[in-house]
Structures are given as C-alpha cells and as structure tokens.
Amino acid sequence: MKIQDFGLDGTILQRILSIALAQGGDFADIYFQYNSSLSIKMEEDIIKNTSSSILLGVGIRVIDGIQTGYAYTSDVSYEKLVETARNASIIAKNKHNISLNTLQIKNKSKNIYDLNAPVINSDIDEQINLVKEAYNSAKKYDNRITKITSSLASSYDFITIANSEGLIITDERPQTRLMVAATAEDGQNKSTAIANNGGRAGMEFYKSVELPESIGKRASEEAIILLSAKDAPSGELPLVLGSEESGVMIHEAVGHPLEADGIWQKTSVMWNKYGETVANPNVTIYDDPTIPNYRGSLNVDDEGCDAENIMLIEKGKIVGFMNDYLSSKLLGHKRNGHGRRESFQSIPIPRMSNTVLMQGNYSPEEIIESTKYGIYAKSFQGGMVEGTGKFTFSLNLGYLIENGKLTAPIKNVTLIGMNLDILKNIEMVGNDMGFFLGTCGKQGQSVAVTSGTPTLKISKMTVGGINGSN
Amino acid sequence: MEATNYLDYNEEIINFALKNGASQIQIAHSICDDFEVEVRQGEIQQFNKAISKSMGMKILVDDRVASASTSDLRKEIVKNLVLSTIKRARYSEADPYARLADLERSNIDSNSLNIYDPKIEELSPDWKISQAKEMESIALSDNRITNSLGSQVSTSLSTIFLSNSNGFAGSFQASSISAGVFLQAGSGDELYEEGWWENRVALETLPQIDEIAKTAINRTTRLIGAKKIESQKLPVIFEPNIAAEILGFLSACVNGNNIYLNRSFLAGKLDSQIANPIINIIDDGLIPGGLGSRPFDSDGVPTRKTIVIENGILKSYLLGTYAARKLNMKSTGNASGITNFVLENGNNSQNDLIRRIDKGILITSTIGHGLNPTTGDISKGAAGMMIINGEIAYPVNEFTFSGNLQSILQNIIAIANDPIQNSQVITPSILVNELDISGK
C-alpha cells in the first residue's frame, strides 16, 4: 500500500504543508491513515458475527508557540486537504515565513513487528478456528461455566507522516488480540473473568507464544475461583502484587506522571523532581517501545520520530520523561518518540508504550512468605491517576495472605494511594516478570500499551474492602 | 449542516445488496461536525475542527450475520464493501434472533424532541475561544487556584440516516454544547484536582461560564487540606454527579445484553423488590431537549418512556431487538443503550440530607474502576467532605467506598431535589444509610 493509491504524493503533501503554514506557525505535519480491521465473535456456541472496518483519513496540525491547531478529514481529495490545512492554521497569528524543507523520504531504522502472515490477511476460516479453540477450551474447563464470549480482533494500520522539517516516513503496523470472557454460576453465586493475549504479531503468535486453548482456560479458571471469592478486608495493609498483571500499578503511579506534557505544564506532581529520588532504590523503570511484537511497540511514533527505549527511574531516581515534539521542544529535551494518537482524528500527545519495572532478586515465594497478613493481587480491571499523584487500581481477583501463604480468594476491590508514598513503600522486587496488555485512555484517546512487573511487595496501601469482613 | 439526503443513497445501496444475495440489510450513515478548543494559562492548547462521515452496515444472508463500517464513502468502495460483507456472512452460523427489527410505525416527530439547536451552527470559533479563555481567567483569578488543567468549550452537530430492508427509513439531527474548566490547588506535593463542566443540547440552556468557573473554584478549593480518614462504616451522600455514576452502573446492570448473557446480578429479578420503595427510575427517550432523546434506536425501533424501577420494584430491562428476542420480551427501543435515565426527585434539598447525618461523608468525586455488573459489587476511590452533626466539617481524601449495588439501592433512605442536567443519567443527591469506607 502507498499514499499514491489515494491520489496523493510527496509534492501534494508539500503543497498542503505550505498552505498549513501560510498564516504563520513554527511547525506543521500531516498524518495519513488507512486502517483496516476485522473482528470475529463467538457466543452461545455459535459464531455470531464477523465485522470489518475501514478507517481512512488525514489529520493536519499546525503548531505556533505552545498553541496547536488541528483539523482532519475522511475525504482525502486535494480540495478537502486544502480546506483542512486552512482550518488547522486558524490559530496561527504570527507570520514567521519559515522556509519549508523539501520532503525527503526517510526509511525506518528498524522493524520490530512480525509482518509475516498478519492475522487480518489470513483465511477467515483459520481465524475462526482460533476463536473456536479458545471458546471450546473455556467451555470444557468446568460445567459451571455457563456463558462464554470469545472474540478475535485484528487490524493493519498503514500510516504516512510528512512534516515541515522535510520528513516523510511510512509505517505499517499489525495488531491482534484474542479475548475470552467466561461467566460461571453454581446456583448461589456467579462471576465473570476475562483473559486475553496478542500483540503486533502474526498467526505464529497463537502457535508459539500462547495457544488459544490456554487463553480460554485462563478465563474459566479465574471465573471458577471467583465463585468462592469473599469481600476484601478494609484499611491499610501490606500488598503483594503478582507478576501477571500488576504492571497496571506502574503504568498509573509512574508512567502517566512522567509523560512530558504534565511536566512542562507543571500539572504532574513530579514536574520538579528530575534527578530526585522518589522511589525505593530497588526500583528501576523504563518505557521500551522496541520490544519485538509487543502490543505497545512502535518503529516510529505518530510524529514519525524513532521510538526509543527511555529510562524513567533508575535506582529510585527520576532520570527521564516520555516526550513528543512539542514537549521536547518546550523542555529543551532530546526527542524520544513517545508522541502517539488514537487515529487521524486526534492530536499526538506523550504516551507510554511498554512500561517495565526491572526484575530484582527475590523469588515470588520468598515475597509471599515474608508477609504475615495482607493482600495478593492476581488480576486487574484497570487503574487511574490524577496529576496530584493520587491513583487507584482495581482487582478482579486477589487472595488473602495469612502467615506467608495465599488463602481465601477475594473479589472486586479498589486500592488507593499517593504515588510519592507508594513508590517509597516498594520494599521487595521479584526475579520473575509478567505483562499486562491494556488499552490506555488519556484526554479521550485510546492507545494500545503493555506494562510489565515482577512480583512486588508494597509495605502498606489502602485496600477498599468491607469493614469487619476479616 | 450538509443537506445531502443519505436516505436516497441508503436505498440505492439496500437495493444493490438485495440484488446481490443479501436477505436483509441495514445501513446507518452518520455525519459529525465537531469543534473543540482547550485553553490553558491563556493560550490555545488545542483547537480541533472537523467534519467526519462514516457508514455502518449489517447484512444477513439466510440468518447469517456480517457487519462492516467505513469512513471511505466513495460509492465504488461502499459497493465493494457490500459485496465482501455478503460473502463474509457465510462464515457466521445461523442466528434467527439477529434478524432486523420488524417495522414499527412511529408517530414521533423528531422536531418536537428539540434535540437540535441551529444557533450552535452560528457560533464562531473566535467566540468559543473567548468563552474558554474567559472561563479560565475567572477561575485563575482566585488566588487559591495554583494551576489550570485546561478550560474547554466544544460543540457537536450530528446527523444520522438509518434505513433497512424491512422498510424503515429515518433521520434526525442532534446538537450539543459543553463548557468546563479543571483546576489544581494546594502547595508543594499536597495538591488537589477538581473542576466542573456543563453539557446541553441548546445554547440558551447552557449555564453562564462565570457560573461554571465559580462552581469549579468551589469544588477545588473546598478540598484544600483534605485528610485521610479511619476505615469505618458511615452514612454517605452522593452528590448528583456521583449519584449519576452509581445510576450509570445500574443502567449497565439492567441492559438486556448483560441480562441474556446472565452477566448482571439483576438477571431473573424482574418484578422483585430490588430497591427502597422511595426509588422510581425511568428511561425516557422522548424528553424534549434531553441529551439522550432520540426518535429511534440503532435498530430503527421508536424510543419511548420505560418504567425501570417503580416503588423499588424492578419493572423492566432496557432492551434492543436482539436481547428482547433472546429473553422472549419486546424491545424497549434501547438498542443504543440508555436514552435519558432519570431518578425521580425527592422533596429534600441537599442541605436537608446533610442535616440528617451525625457523622458521614458527602462524596464529591471518584477515581478509578471497580464496578462488576455480574455481582453488583462496587469499590471506588473517592474524595469529599466530612459531615459532623449535620454540617459540612472538613475535606477528606484518599479513601474508597465499597458495597454491593443491591444493598446500596435498598439503603437509599432519602433523595434530594437538585438534579444536574449534563449527562444522559439525571439524578439528584442521594443519601445511603451505611457504606463501607476504607482509609487508614
């Protein structure tokens, strides 16, 4: 695929960029997107629906000082692009007459996606088999499993970015995710659990990384455990975060506060803490878009900049921020390729990709054994953070820890804390590692991310359970 | 708005599909004209202006379903998409429940719904920018406010054209305008974040921006110095915006899709007493000027007024055609979800509720997830104001409230008369007798 298939070329984009900057402004860029996706859903023992979607459009951005003008169109004809460029330039007030560089095609320095056999291009029959294998495995796991939804969503995203600095670059990004929701009932209680896996990968993923059967089984296993789950206790308690999905905590407590827009705007509680020790020295955290085939990985970000692995916290000290074009310019930092957008309908803003807390020395067993009474976090619904550093995350399934052992399962509980307190309270870091696959929302835009952690112990955090339940 | 009549275009595509092997087809075209400006510290942080178009289709071939959507509306692309969707239908298994809704005659006049205000079309970008700037500058003029998280004004004009091969063809226009500002207060690492926004169908019903700014200031500054509290069971008042979150969760639990999949604690509870008898809730798609008012849902079924809870008894689920058939019931015109979901007012002011409490909390904001429709369990982070001896005493922060929606509904012992109108869930403040609070 190429932009020429849509009647566009470098000369036209160059002309549009000069129209975008005709009123003034320091910078302009064009984001062309053609995204095709297919999803398949099985429920109540039948393949109920297959659904395809085409998203075509162009977004044009003009930056003047700290102001951003943006406009987009799903009609990519020349006349509409001219109108769109003019709309984006409304904010530009000061004529700088900057000279436009001639567009030079830039090739990506790497490819970190598996572009062999993208799922969306493979036989629908083969894709349906994946959905059925996951469904059937969830169903046969236990006869208390009563309802299952198994769905496969895959897409192929073609983007071309051109900007007034002379860059023109193309990226093609596959994405796939197989998800199973299982509902269990035993006459008294019922429960629902979700399991999923996927990435910027091809069909091979479901053969070599995780089989569909395994995804289905995980959903049912958790739903069955939840049937006997109790309410969590209430109050400040020690917390052990299992490695499977606890990356959510790092994503909220550290990731968002170190996105560079909150830094230059001084709205993040960490804006003035560069070089300061904010976490226990056993904590090192980085954001790495270059992990091959991962859900949050990128060759280049949505501004065409090489996406780089960036160290955020080294041995407890803040050493970096994730930035986009505008925030790097305003802060005087080197760009590191973290400007992302949901689609051509949105402006790029600093975002995470794959956020990882580095392994430590303790075995998960040692960490659990060291806890006399507390909570163990197994699976998550998600989390949230505000600029003040107050954050929450919600467990779908956890366990009580009593005398160093996991005992009763507990359900649906939210934990709350301030990041600057909790980061200092990370007292043990495990030697294992697991990744949570998520879709992160910020300013109304959703992007694919992952976050990884080993097993962690936090000395205390507020657990939102039921008073007197334990 | 653009005058093109997509109903003719829809009809052409429907005929093309039927000729090429589709047994049934439904097409929805939507056109959105969106504007948004966000100002921060007096400068335009983001200015976004666009018209976007898209279409979606659902095709059945012998009860096998396939669907598709595209933002590329060139006719040859759309026709190819129709053909490939017809082909793809054979991969689904026969699902007779999925047939299009039977044609239901409707006498709803979409003009009488008052969901489109042409005055919003006339507003210039400069006017909207100046409103956002002024709202922020009023908010920042209070010296307790230390930073702005952004002041926004946005407008949205949309037109929907829905047609299907059962003979339905309908269209309507809807508008909305919203304005809001979010702020920070506090010093050092002790920061507090809050704000306020309003959202309406029509310009003249939108509160003035100085009012919005003052509400935002008050909501933010009253949190300054908030403390953590001990874990305990306490009576709680949910302010209308938070009560709307709780009722929004209830609306998911009465949604037919969660009922037929048994993913709601309210499945099988029709006609039983699920709430305190003072609770009356309706879903009404025909309220003039309502943000959720629509002449028909995404199945082409007319919307209506449905009594959901009457005197605490669950009277109806909210059903689209598919869920209704699965449950052997009739559609309530809720294929697109809730319309206007309304909790009937009580006779008290919010102050009356506060005066009834010796020790409790007025919850003013929440953070995070922690809602489970299958079980009805709720656990959310929150901030608010401590109530002591019937009066607001001091701010509290960094706590959670937890419970089960079924017991919360039973324990709503008083309802105020102060609903807000900025979302599709409309509810006044409510007093819950006892709730689990976790803090220190």
Which residues in chain A are closer than 8 Å to B261, comparing Cβ atoms?
43, 147, 149, 183
Asked whether the beta carbons of A351 and A322 are under 8 A apart, the reply is yes
Which residues in chain A are closer than 8 Å to B191, comparing Cβ atoms?
269, 387-389
Which residues in chain A are closer than 8 Å to B54, comparing Cβ atoms?
74
- Which residue from B minimizes the CA distance to A223? B374
Query: Would you place residue A91 in the very low, low, confident or very high pLDDT band (cuts 50, 70, 90)?
Result: confident
- Nearest by CB: B374 against A66, A191, A384: A191
CATH number of A119-154+175-227: 3.30.2290.10
Contact between chains at A464 and B438 (C-beta distance less than 8 A)? yes
Contact between chains at A74 and B377 (C-beta distance less than 8 A)? no
* Nearest CA-CA distance, residue B417 and chain A, Å: 30
Please state the CATH superfamily assignment of the domain spanning residues B6-221 in this structure. Answer: PmbA/TldD superfamily (3.30.2290.10)
Q: What is the ipTM of this complex?
A: 0.93
Domain extent listing, chain A: 3-105, 119-154+175-227, 235-464
Residue A2: closest CA among A105, A136, A122: A105
pLDDT of residue A469: 61
Residue A394 tokens, joined:
């919600």
Mean pLDDT of B209-232: 96
- Nearest by CB: A413 against B70, B77, B379: B379
pLDDT of residue B143: 96
Residue A89: closest CA among A70, A73, A110: A70
Interface test with A, best of B229, B377, B379, B407 (most A CBs within 10 A): B379
pTM: 0.95
Do A3-105 and A119-154+175-227 come out as alike in CATH topology?
A: yes
Q: How do residues A424-458 score in pLDDT, each as one tens digit?
A: 999 999 999 999 999 999 999 999 999 999 999 99
- Nearest by CB: A467 against B262, B436, B440: B436
Q: Is A417 on the interface with B (CB under 8 A)?
A: yes
Residue B253: closest CA among B372, B339, B367: B372
Q: Is B149 on the interface with A (CB under 8 A)?
A: yes
State how beta strands A310-314 and B24-40 pair.
Answer: unpaired
Bridge partners (DSSP) of residue B22 are none
Integer angstrom CA distances of residue B101 from A117, A220, B6, B185, B332: 39, 34, 21, 53, 12
* DSSP for residue A90: G
Residue B341 tokens, joined:
């979901």
Domain extent listing, chain B: 6-221, 226-440
- Look up tokens 């302009």; give the residue: A28
Q: How do residues B14-46 score in pLDDT, each as one tens digit?
A: 999 999 999 999 999 999 999 999 999 999 999
- Nearest by CB: A381 against B40, B370, B403: B370
Which residues in chain A are closer than 8 Å to B186, comparing Cβ atoms?
388
Q: Is A266 on the interface with B (CB under 8 A)?
A: yes
Q: What is the 3-state secondary structure (H, E, C) of A140-192?
A: HCCCCEEEEEEEEEEEEEEEEEEECCCEEEEEEEEEEEEEEEEEEECCCCEEE
Residue A246: closest CA among A370, A363, A383, A368: A383
* Nearest CA-CA distance, residue B54 and chain A, Å: 8
CATH number assigned to the domain with residue range A3-105, chosen from the 4 options 3.40.50.11900, 3.40.50.300, 2.60.40.1120, 3.30.2290.10: 3.30.2290.10
Interface test with B, best of A277, A416, A462 (most B CBs within 10 A): A416
Report how far residue A185's alpha carbon sits from residue A146's, in angstroms, rounded to the nearest whole number.
7
pLDDT of residue B1: 45
Mean pLDDT of B96-124: 93
Report how far residue A356's alpha carbon sits from residue A359's, in angstroms, rounded to the nearest whole number.
9
* Nearest CA-CA distance, residue B36 and chain A, Å: 10
* Nearest CA-CA distance, residue A292 and chain B, Å: 30
Mean pLDDT of A115-133: 95
Average per-residue pLDDT for chain A: 95
Q: How do residues B70-79 score in pLDDT, each as one tens digit?
A: 999 988 999 9
pLDDT at A102 over 90: no
Mean pLDDT of B216-243: 96
pLDDT of residue B423: 95
Mean pLDDT of A19-44: 96
* DSSP for residue B416: B
pLDDT of residue A103: 85
Which residues in chain A are closer than 8 Å to B65, comparing Cβ atoms?
48-50
Which residues in chain B are closer than 8 Å to A191, comparing Cβ atoms?
374-375
Contact between chains at A68 and B44 (C-beta distance less than 8 A)? yes
Q: Express as a percent the part of chain A with pLDDT over 70.
A: 99
Which residues in chain B are closer than 8 Å to A31, comparing Cβ atoms?
none
* Nearest CA-CA distance, residue B134 and chain A, Å: 17
Contact between chains at B49 and A420 (C-beta distance less than 8 A)? no
- Which residue from B minimizes the CA distance to A93? B44
pLDDT of residue A223: 98
- Which residue from B minimizes the CA distance to A382? B369
pLDDT, greater one: B49 or B393: B393
User: Residue B268: is it exposed, middle or buried by C-beta count within 10 angstroms (0-12/13-18/19+)?
Assistant: exposed
User: Does an H or E element contain B404, and which?
Assistant: strand B391-404
Which residues in chain A are closer than 8 Å to B402, comparing Cβ atoms?
231-232, 234, 413-414, 464-466
Contact between chains at A392 and B367 (C-beta distance less than 8 A)? yes
Asked whether the beta carbons of A51 and A36 are under 8 A apart, the reply is no
pLDDT of residue B171: 94
